[in-house]
Amino acid sequence: MTPPTRLRRVALATLFLASLAGNAALVRLWTREVQRSHEARLDPVGLEVHAADRAKPPPAGRPVLVLFGDSRAAMWPTPPELTGYTVVNRGIGYQTTAQIALRIEADVAPLHPAVVVLEAGVNDLKEIADLPERRSQIVADCEANLRLIVERCRASGATVIVMSVFDIGDLPVWRRPFWSDEVPAAVREVNAFLPTLAGDHVLLLDSGAALDDDRGKVKPAYQLDFLHLVPAGYDALDARLVPLVRGLPAPSSPTP
């Protein structure tokens, strides 16, 4: 066998193996999406996720701070500096702002929180890649839902800290054909809207100031994947969150 022939065969074998690996990754992705679809139909609001914790009596003795939102909230470790609070995490992966809004009465109000840290919106906006014709409506609905969530959390007596939607990280190769630059553009649009929510007992946390590099993108060192953070990223957010919380008036303990 001549060297060129051997090289061609090696190249073909490499391409074949790469194709198999790519197809396997797509099958896993498709399987996960089908599973998520089934789960959403069975429990569209996700009330089963925190059902066991919800069955327990509300925390006593210290004021409650709720981390509320989607997977980015669900993955947020308890900030160790917030020793004066009982921190309760009520994040659920994959949820849109519409789903999060429907969980307030179950996952926030019974806790009588002093503070709610709201992190939400990216799961709405990333759908623009698949539904480009609905871009305007998706953005409008996201903004309306965020306003509704803030109002309802305020009605429970909480101070609400609204975190801006942190940007999309570096896209993996498999996601690039199914993506759109309109997604980060919509993130910027919603973030420009968020200051309109600020007011009495409603504060903003600028995630970009905590996480972004000089490109205006989430620093690679903070990226777990293109949507999520490693613990160091949450440490950077805590550096912004903790002073905000400490600057609030002294809260009272929850009253059932």
Q: What is the DSSP string of 147-192?
A: HHHHHHHHHTT-EEEEEP-PPP-PPPGGGGGG--THHHHHHHHHHH
Task: Give the CA angle between residues 244, 249, 252 to the nearest 5°.
Answer: 115
- pLDDT tops 70 at residue 118: yes
Residue range 201-256, pLDDT digits in tens: 999 999 999 999 988 899 999 999 999 999 999 999 999 999 999 999 877 655 55
Give the 3-state secondary structure of residue 245.
Answer: helix
In a domain, 206, yes or no: yes
Domain assignment of residue 107, given as a range? 51-246
3-state DSSP assignment of residue 68: strand
CA distance 183 to 122: 9
Q: What is the pLDDT of residues 59-95, one digit of tens each?
A: 888 999 999 999 999 999 999 999 999 999 999 999 9
Residue 170 lies in a domain: yes
Q: Contact 26/174 with Cβ under 8 angstroms?
A: yes
In the predicted model, is pLDDT for residue 34 greater than 50?
no
Residue 136 has pLDDT above 80, yes or no: yes
Helices and strands: H and E segment counts in the chain: 10, 5
Confirm whether 207 is domain-assigned.
yes
Q: What does R_g of the chain's alpha carbons equal in angstroms?
A: 21
239 is a domain residue: yes
Residue 29's pLDDT band (cuts 50, 70, 90) = very low
The answer to the question of residue 16 being in a domain is no
**Quick check: is 204 in a domain?**
yes
- With pLDDT > 90 as the criterion, what percentage of the chain qualifies? 72
pLDDT of residue 17: 67
Task: Measure the CA dihedral 61/249/145/254, to 10°.
Answer: 20
**Is there a domain that residue 43 lies in?**
no
Domain count, the chain: 1
Q: Is residue 94 part of a domain?
A: yes
CATH code for the domain of 128: 3.40.50.1110
